[in-house]
Structure 1
Amino acid sequence: MIPIDSVLEGYQTTFQKAQDMLSPEGFVLGGGWSYDHGYFDHPLDWEEDHGYRYYLRIPVYAAQGELGDGKAIVELGKPFVIKHEFRTKNDPSGDVGVFSSLVNQFSKPIPTEGAEIDEQWLARARMLLEKIETKIQTQKSQP
């Protein structure tokens, strides 16, 4: 994980406005969100044929109300780039037995803590952040 300094950090708006600002740029609210926090994710390696591994993540926290409610006030956190890899073969730590696939059908991601992230993904992330930062500056300057 590599954090990136940005004016997004600490920015507050409604959940709906945050989503309206980020969705057209390709960000989606990641599936693991809860009522008080989540992440807007954008894949950085969309042209690769192995599936997505590198993401720009923008944390989002509910300041008032609950995440998902368009009127909730949310605060954006410090963006970061993460490498997230999934196993494409059997998980060596998985259970063995006839019923194991019924109980635990998903393998754990490959650990990527400390993994190097190529400069091309960081540059792409900074480019995306600049677009979002420009949108915020435009919103702030409008009455």
Structure 2
Amino acid sequence: MKFENTGIEKFKADLNRLDEVMDEHGLVREGQWDYERVTYDRKFELKEGIFYLRVFGYATQGDVGSHKATIQLMTPLLGKYYYPHGVEYGEGENFPSGLVNQCKKTLEEIKGKIEKFAE
């Protein structure tokens, strides 16, 4: 499920500041990066299954490995995890409304913080 028009996808921001803001809201980068791309994940374990809120980004300047990069954020996604295949984001997925609302609130809070320092 795509979270269209959140405004997050319009931001370019410093990687280290992004790491701090995302971590404050439970989204972690961990090993989800290469020298040009990042993925911030928040895992939700519910009775309906395991879900991930994901915010992707890519470096427009610098490189992620050196911790000196400007990251262009992309449209956030919500996906459901299926063992052993991975995460599905498709239109046919059924996402609990409480989870969707929680994700929207989290993304709104993140946007409010990022817009203070984003390019």
Q: What is the TM-score with the length of structure 2 in the denominator?
A: 0.80
The answer on 1:108 being equivalent to 2:105 is no
Are the aligned partners of 1:30 and 1:38 in contact in 2 as well (CA < 8 Å)?
Answer: no
Q: Identify the residue that residue 84 of structure 1 maps to in structure 2.
A: 81
Structure with the higher strand share, 1 or 2: 2
- d(CA) in 2 for partners of 1:33, 1:138: 24
Greater relative contact order (Cα < 8 A, sep 6+): 2
Q: CA offsets per residue over residues 24-68 of structure 1, 9 Å max, x none?
A: 21111153422111211112x34x378x71111111101112223
The answer on 1:75 being equivalent to 2:53 is no
Could you list the runs of 5+ residues in structure 1 that have no partner in the other structure? 87-106
Q: Identify the residue that residue 14 of structure 1 maps to in structure 2.
A: 14
Q: What is the TM-score with the length of structure 1 in the denominator?
A: 0.68
Q: CA offsets per residue over residues 80-113 of structure 1, 9 Å max, x none?
A: 1111222xxxxxxxxxxxxxxxxxxxx4337664
Q: Identify the residue that residue 111 of structure 2 maps to in structure 1.
A: 133
Are the aligned partners of 1:85 and 1:112 in contact in 2 as well (CA < 8 Å)?
Answer: no
The answer on 1:59 being equivalent to 2:56 is yes
- d(CA) in 1 for partners of 2:88, 2:7: 30
Give the number of equivalent residue pairs.
117
Question: Residue 123 of structure 1: SS of its match in structure 2?
Answer: helix
Q: For the structure 1 residues 119 and 68, does the alpha-carbon distance in structure 2 shift closer, same or farther, using more than 3 Å as the test?
A: farther
Answer with 1 or 2: which has the greater Rg.
1
Q: For the structure 1 residues 56 and 69, does the alpha-carbon distance in structure 2 shift closer, same or farther, using more than 3 Å as the test?
A: same
Query: How far did 1:70 drift?
Result: 2.1
- d(CA) in 1 for partners of 2:113, 2:31: 25
Could you list the runs of 5+ residues in structure 2 that have no partner in the other structure? none
Identity of matched residues, %: 23
